[in-house]
Amino acid sequence: MVATSRPATAPSAKGSPIAALDARAVTALSALVAVEHAAVYGAASAGGALAPLGASARDARGLATAAFTAHRQLRDALTALLLDAGAKPPAAQPAYTLPVSPASVGAALTLLAELDDRTAASSYDAVGLVTGKARELIVDALAQAALRAQRARLTADVSPGTAVKALPGRL
């Protein structure tokens, strides 16, 4: 159905119930979309930097590719969620300042881990503000982001004591 100017409260034509999103939920989900736009950009940058680095960068390239796909899927799912609720999801910026320049395999892995740390933190902030399918989406997004960040750090030979977080997304 076409989104109206009011938050959707009518039953969804697709059959899955869309919980109405209050203002705080829209704000938190929009923040997460913005984080995912940046993560898609950053993961693509990491993958591009790793592309010419040969066999020694194979594992890191695989992580970058998986991260790109996962961040794009989460961005699209959240965008659809917001549109279905009658909200206006944020668009991507033309470019982003990366927290780490992926100039080496190690730096690219650090970048991937930091992008996923941000996804985890933003998911933590949003998960309590939504219910139903939206909460399922975000609780799983948090776990998957934490897993990717941990894999990236372990692949970069960070010690398990540092790579494994006690409370992902929270601290």
Partner 1 sequence: MGGVGVRGAPSRRAVLALPAAGVAAAGLVTAAGCSESRPAGTPAPPPVDLAAAQAAARAERDLLVDYDAAIARHPALAALLGGLRAHHAQHLAALATQVPALATATPDGTVTSGGSPSASAPATPSGAATAPAAGTSLPGSAGPQPGADDSPAARASALAELATSERAAADEHRAGCLAATGGLAPLLASLRAAESCHADLLSLAGSAG
CA quadruple 138, 29, 7, 4: dihedral sign: negative
- Which of 125, 137, 152, 156 contacts partner 1 by CB under 8 A? 125
Q: Is 42 exposed, middle or buried (0-12, 13-18, 19+ CB in 10 A)?
A: buried
Count of chain residues binding partner 1 (CB under 8 A): 33
Helices (H), 15-131: 23-50, 58-84, 105-127
The residue among 58 and 170 lying less far from partner 1, judged by its C-beta, is 170
Q: How far apart are CA 160 and CA 128, in angstroms?
A: 29
- Which of 42, 86, 89, 168 contacts partner 1 by CB under 8 A? 168
77 sits near partner 1 (criterion: CB under 8 A):
no
Least distance to partner 1, CB of residue 60, Å: 16
Least distance to partner 1, CB of residue 29, Å: 13
Binding site for partner 1 (CB under 8 A): 24, 28, 120, 123-125, 127-129, 135-136, 138-140, 142-143, 145-147, 150-151, 154, 160-161, 163-171
